[in-house]
């Protein structure tokens, strides 16, 4: 079975082909980051228009990469939510139209389920059950995972997502959107002792997160530094980046540890854009070693948005005979707990 996967939920056009026997046989990605750079964030209408331009050429490129013709595709998977409604409609419409023309089934995939299952694209895949920390630009959730589609959200952010906090703080430090990776790079030169940021909501029970206060704390720190130094020096920027990143990582780690303790699980999966963060990976690896458990991450290219995770998730569901009807339905908001099991 060979499944074409199409991801267009935000600012990345991703197209991939997953083969039941050979695994991932094509992976094409086009990022719109440069298009949105001048605006300091994703402009939904520009995103939709660019997905229209890029999706079909990327599908052709993916077929060429896998050395396949359209007749050899057995099903089409596409992101149907959550995400930007216009962007979702582009991928969904193209996917549905192709499936109709090729006379194969199509299925709408939940973007966060795609992130959650992305570590399964690796040879060293996690066994169920596990705790998943999903940390992206739009979501921060702790999910108790018993199997595909068996998800219980046991904690989530009550305000900003972790990636969003990275991006907002990066902006304060003068970095381009999305600044998560750049902030992390800057933090490498930062002093571990100059600033200390709070660890929000760790002093009370529960598994929810709150990251908007960290952005405010960063803004106040920036203002005080400007008052004291006249301008923000490169070293001060690096010191703030360091303290901010440590606070986010520490907060995520504390809640992961708590979730593992509460459920008795010993496996942790980290996915979503923020899971690309090297320092986070190192911290959680150390924590899991101390806890005598295991931690799994997607390969770095499958941490941020991509078509591979959608092709794979679609494959799992289509293989079980699940598929969607002809009408196109996208779900900008879509709780993961509504998903069916396989």
Going by the annotation, the residues of the binding site are: 111, 115, 134-138, 167, 180, 277, 305
Quick one: 8 or 251, whose CB is closer to Zn ion? Answer: 8
Residues at the annotated binding site for substrate? Answer: 134-138, 167, 180, 277
The minimum distance between CB 326 and ligand KG4, in angstroms, equals 27
Residues 6+ apart with CB under 8 A from 219: 172
The minimum distance between CB 29 and Zn ion, in angstroms, equals 13
The SS3 assignment for 251 reads helix
Contact footprint for Zn ion (CB under 5 A): 136, 305
- DSSP secondary structure string for all residues of 65-124: HHT--GGG--EEEEEEESS-HHHHHHHHHHHHHHHHHHT--EEEEEHHHHHHHGGGGSSS
Task: Tell me if 149 contacts ligand KG4 by CB under 6 A.
Answer: no
Residues at the annotated binding site for Fe cation? Answer: 111, 115, 305
Strand 150-156 relative to strand 106-110: parallel, antiparallel, unpaired? unpaired
Nearest residue to ligand KG4, scored by beta-carbon proximity: 273
Region near ligand KG4 per CB under 6 A, out of 60-68, 261-269, 274-282, 286-294: 274-282
Distance of CA 171 to the CA centre of its chain: 20
Quick one: 19 or 167, whose CB is closer to ligand KG4? Answer: 167
Name beta bridge partners: 185. none
When computed from its CA atoms, the radius of gyration of the chain, rounded to whole angstroms, is 20
Query: Is residue 232 within 8 Å of 225, Cβ to Cβ?
Result: yes
The minimum distance between CB 236 and ligand KG4, in angstroms, equals 20
Which among Zn ion, ligand KG4, none contacts residue 184 (Cβ within 5 to 8 A by kind)?
ligand KG4
- Catalog residues that contact ligand KG4 under the rule CB under 6 A: 10, 136-138, 163, 166-167, 178, 180-181, 184, 272-274, 276-277, 304-305
């Amino acid at each position: 079975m060979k499944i074409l996967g199409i991801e267009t939920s935000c600012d990345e056009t991703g197209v991939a082909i997953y083969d039941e026997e050979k695994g991932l046989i094509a992976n094409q990605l086009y990022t719109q980051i440069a298009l949105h750079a001048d605006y300091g964030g994703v402009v939904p209408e520009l995103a939709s228009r660019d997905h229209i331009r890029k999706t079909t050429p990327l599908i052709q490129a993916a077929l060429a990469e896998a050395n396949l013709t359209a007749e050899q595709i057995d099903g089409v998977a596409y992101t149907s939510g959550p995400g930007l409604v216009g962007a979702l409609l582009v991928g969904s419409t193209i996917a549905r139209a192709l499936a109709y023309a090729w006379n194969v089934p199509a299925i709408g995939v939940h973007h966060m389920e795609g992130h959650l299952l992305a570590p399964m694209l690796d040879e060293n895949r996690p066994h169920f059950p596990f705790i998943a920390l999903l940390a992206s630009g739009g979501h921060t959730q702790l999910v108790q995972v018993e199997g595909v589609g068996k998800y219980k959200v046991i904690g989530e952010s009550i305000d900003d997502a972790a990636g969003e906090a990275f991006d907002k703080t990066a902006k304060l430090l003068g970095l381009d959107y999305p600044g998560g990776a750049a902030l992390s790079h800057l933090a490498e030169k930062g002093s571990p002792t100059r600033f200390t940021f709070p660890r929000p909501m760790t002093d009370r029970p529960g598994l929810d997160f709150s990251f908007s206060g960290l952005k405010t704390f960063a803004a106040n720190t920036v203002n005080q530094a400007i008052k004291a130094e006249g301008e923000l020096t490169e070293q001060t920027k690096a010191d703030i980046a360091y303290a901010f990143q440590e606070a986010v990582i520490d907060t995520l780690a504390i809640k992961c540890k708590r979730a593992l303790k509460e459920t008795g699980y010993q496996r942790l999966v980290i996915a979503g854009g923020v899971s690309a963060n090297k320092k986070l990976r190192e911290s959680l690896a150390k924590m899991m070693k101390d806890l005598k458990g295991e931690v799994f991450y997607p390969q770095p290219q499958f941490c941020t948005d991509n078509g591979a995770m959608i092709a794979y998730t679609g494959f799992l569901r289509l293989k079980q005979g699940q598929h969607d009807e002809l009408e196109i339905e996208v779900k900008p908001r879509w709780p993961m707990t509504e998903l069916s099991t396989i």
